[in-house]
């Protein structure tokens, strides 16, 4: 059986719950007290005693409330066949590690090797084999730690989840051995430096690990296994791009194929559940094309691995499996005025030179009102039953009109300050201004502004050198803070879309300004729900997107070219010293960066 390694969708923010008062508080307390072992429908899915971790418990809580709701449309909301392993298995393995404190000082490979040599409890091994006898589709082995069952900190990407191809033609013992190894590798991740450092940073103690083994949502279509659509949904939306949307309306980010794309900084269609035909990027065909999904993830039976495929290359292979493919994809044709879209024929289409297929979900938005109504009811139900904003990850199978929930939990959110307002800026130097999707807050007298020159970045081939230069500056800041201004999507996994900086390289950042240059292919997006922006929320990093040339936006390039600056270790990364302030008002969707003073540049950043 082939293994498909990699970090999966690792959930949303977590940590200690904030005190909640009144009626909502009692609801939240009931949520945290709920024990799946007390529910006969779920107890038989759990192996062992103790907690099954935050991810597992929250999912089963959601399914219990959906079951009990009596809402007719929610009867078509299910979760995949799953096995939940309680934390006493983790304790059993931990007791076999001779000197854990010394082991923590070793390299990650040494830590992992030590855990892999341990044995799982016999009842866990038996349960794994029983599960694999019934499930022969691809599976995922997911971490579900105890500390994830709270609200204050994000463990997204800190632990491990692993796909397995799980070929039913392979021997059961071979498949079971790989899954058992995956479980022990997840246990080991609890003591990897990145996890320990994160817990220490936030004053958290040791964690304990539960496990979820779950069939991957999807079905085989030729050589590829994937769901038609997948995404993330939120009962509240705090980064509205228009005042026509209310925060309680809820939103989803939807992609074609596997949902791993929706929690990373790739392209996804954002839908406001009450007004699904609205687009954050507007109605300009060129901008829609720039924001449209062109790649999606599948499990490939030939490679026996998780792969990313290009719809332009394989649309003919998958078209016969999707009777409603034209609801999801359109043909974009360029012209001198920004291009235009044409629908795909339900009998197939001919793509001319220069044209391309991309996922816009244009027809889906207009034809799928029952789906959006169901998602709104689902998210509102979980919001009400948890006493907190809700966050789900899901797959959708249109042919069966079936929603599969793969994760459900409270959504971490920062309480927006009610007194934030942008002061009179008449005599101040506004160098950046945004008019949509800004966060909410004030950061004043920031001593540094780090700017990535979009002209140089557009010519760069060693994109990661730019990211590492930002990381070097971040490390040199010590107790200081900075504003980061960069083209496109900061933290993108695709460097052609923006600087692929890692979150640990911007820990001293107070505000990220993403600047859009559409003709160069750089388009900002506040990818609410991605792991990257979860971390921004938790650490209070402000965000604003600025679009060059757009009405009510300011990108004062003359400022960046005329004032003195120091260079980082890459020629495209500049550091301005002085006094800079950020004001972002999420209620009016206005954000500004002000340069009150620019000093002579400091050297030594490389």
Alpha helical stretches, state H, 292-332: 311-318, 325-328
Q: Do 75 and 204 belong together in one domain?
A: yes
Instruction: Give the chain's domain count.
Output: 3
Q: Which of 28-32, 320-324, 484-488 has the lowest mean pLDDT?
A: 28-32
Shortest CA distance to 393 belongs to which of 405, 402, 377? 405
Residue 399 domain flag = no
Q: Do 346 and 283 belong together in one domain?
A: yes
Q: Single out the residue in 318, 334, 367 at which a domain terminates.
A: 367
pLDDT value, residue 27: 83
pLDDT value, residue 193: 82
Q: Which residues contact 532 (CB under 8 A, 6 or more apart)?
A: 264, 265, 491, 503
Q: Do 474 and 530 belong together in one domain?
A: yes
Residue 375 domain flag = no
Q: Single out the residue in 343, 367, 391 at which a domain terminates.
A: 367
Residue 592 domain flag = yes
Q: Do 22 and 165 belong together in one domain?
A: yes
Q: Which of 10-14, 322-326, 449-453, 460-464 has the lowest mean pLDDT?
A: 10-14
Q: Do 155 and 232 belong together in one domain?
A: no
pLDDT value, residue 583: 96
Residue 87 domain flag = yes
* Cα–Cα distance list, 71 to 67, 274, 279, 378, 392 (Å): 9, 19, 29, 9, 18
User: What percentage of residues in the chain have a pLDDT greater than 70?
Assistant: 91
Most confident range (mean pLDDT) of 219-223, 237-241, 268-272 is 219-223
pLDDT value, residue 218: 97
pLDDT value, residue 19: 39
* Cα–Cα distance list, 144 to 209, 331, 407 (Å): 6, 41, 11
529 has pLDDT over 60: no
Q: Do 228 and 198 belong together in one domain?
A: no
pLDDT value, residue 415: 52
Residue 522 domain flag = yes
Q: Do 334 and 444 belong together in one domain?
A: no
Q: Do 498 and 357 belong together in one domain?
A: no
Higher pLDDT, 540 or 508: 508
Q: What is the pLDDT of residues 117-135, one digit of tens each?
A: 999 999 999 999 999 999 9
526 has pLDDT over 80: no
Structural domain of residue 121, as residue ranges? 3-216
String of DSSP letters for 363-387: HHHHH-HHHHHHHHHHHHHHHHHHT
Q: Do 562 and 579 belong together in one domain?
A: yes
Q: Which residues contact 570 (CB under 8 A, 6 or more apart)?
A: 465, 466, 468, 469
Q: Do 88 and 28 belong together in one domain?
A: yes
pLDDT value, residue 13: 32
Residue 307's pLDDT band (cuts 50, 70, 90): very high
pLDDT value, residue 160: 85
Q: Do 248 and 199 belong together in one domain?
A: no
Please tell me what DSSP assigns to residue 209. Answer: E
What are φ and ψ of residue 149, in 5° steps?
-90, 50
Q: What is the pLDDT of residues 365-380, one digit of tens each?
A: 999 999 999 999 999 9
Residue 423 domain flag = no
Tell me, yes or no, if the pTM score tops 0.85.
no
Q: Which of 240-249, 253-262, 268-277, 562-571 has the lowest mean pLDDT?
A: 240-249
pLDDT value, residue 420: 74
Q: Which residues contact 47 (CB under 8 A, 6 or more apart)?
A: 83, 84, 85, 86, 89, 123, 124, 127
Q: What is the pLDDT of residues 80-90, one digit of tens each?
A: 999 999 999 99
- Mean pLDDT calculated for residue range 428-454: 93
Q: Which of 127-136, 234-243, 552-561 has the lowest mean pLDDT?
A: 234-243
Residue 394 domain flag = no
Q: Single out the residue in 162, 195, 216 at which a domain terminates.
A: 216
Residue 415 domain flag = no
C-beta contacts of 126-134 below 8 A and 24+ residues apart? 127/47, 127/83, 127/85, 128/83, 128/176, 128/179, 128/180, 128/183, 128/213, 129/172, 129/173, 129/176, 131/81, 131/83, 131/213, 132/166, 132/172, 132/175, 132/176, 132/179, 133/172, 134/81
pLDDT value, residue 37: 95
Q: Do 200 and 51 belong together in one domain?
A: yes
């Amino acid at each position: 059986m082939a293994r498909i390694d990699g970090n999966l969708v690792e959930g949303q923010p977590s940590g200690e719950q904030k005190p909640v008062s009144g009626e909502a508080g009692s609801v939240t307390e009931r949520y945290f007290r709920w024990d799946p072992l007390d529910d006969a429908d779920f107890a038989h899915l759990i192996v062992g005693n103790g907690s099954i971790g935050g991810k597992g418990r929250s999912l089963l809580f959601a399914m219990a409330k959906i079951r009990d709701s009596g809402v007719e449309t929610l009867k078509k909301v299910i979760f995949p066949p799953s096995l939940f392993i309680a934390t006493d298995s983790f304790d059993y393995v931990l007791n076999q590690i001779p000197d854990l404190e010394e082991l923590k000082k070793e390299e990650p490979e040494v830590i992992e090797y030590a855990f892999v040599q341990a044995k799982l409890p016999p009842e866990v091994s038996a349960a794994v084999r029983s599960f694999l006898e019934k499930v022969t589709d691809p599976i995922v082995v997911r971490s579900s730690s105890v500390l994830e069952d709270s609200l204050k900190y994000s463990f997204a990407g800190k632990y491990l989840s692993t796909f397995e191809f799980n070929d039913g033609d392979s021997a059961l013992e071979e498949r079971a051995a790989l899954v058992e190894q995956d479980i022990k590798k997840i246990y080991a991740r609890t003591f990897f430096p990145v996890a320990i450092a994160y817990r220490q940073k936030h004053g958290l103690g040791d964690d304990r690990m539960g496990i979820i083994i779950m069939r991957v949502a999807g079905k085989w279509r030729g050589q590829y296994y994937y769901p038609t659509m997948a995404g993330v949904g939120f009962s509240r939306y705090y980064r509205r791009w228009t005042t026509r949307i209310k925060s309680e309306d809820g939103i989803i980010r939807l992609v074609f194929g596997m949902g791993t794309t929706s929690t990373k900084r790739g392209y996804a269609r954002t839908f406001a559940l009450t007004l699904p035909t609205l687009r954050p990027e507007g109605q300009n065909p060129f901008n829609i094309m720039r924001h449209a999904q062109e790649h999606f993830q599948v499990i490939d039976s030939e490679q026996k691995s998780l792969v990313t495929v290009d719809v332009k290359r394989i649309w003919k292979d998958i078209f016969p499996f999707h009777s409603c493919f034209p609801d999801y994809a359109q043909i974009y044709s360029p012209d001198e005025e920004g291009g235009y879209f044409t629908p795909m024929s339900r009998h197939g289409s001919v793509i001319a030179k220069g044209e391309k297929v991309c996922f816009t979900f244009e027809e889906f938005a207009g034809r799928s009102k029952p789906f959006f109504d169901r998602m709104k009811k689902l998210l509102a139900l979980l919001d009400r039953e948890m006493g907190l904003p809700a966050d789900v990850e899901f797959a959708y199978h249109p042919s069966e009109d079936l929603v599969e929930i793969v994760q459900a939990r409270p959504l971490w959110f920062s309480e927006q300050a009610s007194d934030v307002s942008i002061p009179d800026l008449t005599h101040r130097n506004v160098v950046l201004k945004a008019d949509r999707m800004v966060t909410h807050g004030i950061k004043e007298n920031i001593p540094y502004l780090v700017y990535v020159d979009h002209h140089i970045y557009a010519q760069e081939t060693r994109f990661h050198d730019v990211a590492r230069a930002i990381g070097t500056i971040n490390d040199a800041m010590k107790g200081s803070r900075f504003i980061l201004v960069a083209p496109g999507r900061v933290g993108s996994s695709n460097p052609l879309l923006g600087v692929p900086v890692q979150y640990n390289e911007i820990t001293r950042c107070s505000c990220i300004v993403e600047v859009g240059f559409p003709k160069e292919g750089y388009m900002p997006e506040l990818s609410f729900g991605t792991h990257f922006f979860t971390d921004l929320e938790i650490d209070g990093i402000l965000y604003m997107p600025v679009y060059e040339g757009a009405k009510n936006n300011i990108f004062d390039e003359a400022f960046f070219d005329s004032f003195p600056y120091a260079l980082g270790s890459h020629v495209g990364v500049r550091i301005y010293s002085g006094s800079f302030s950020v004001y972002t008002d999420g209620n009016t969707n206005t954000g500004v960066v002000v340069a009150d003073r620019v000093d002579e540049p400091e050297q030594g950043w490389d």
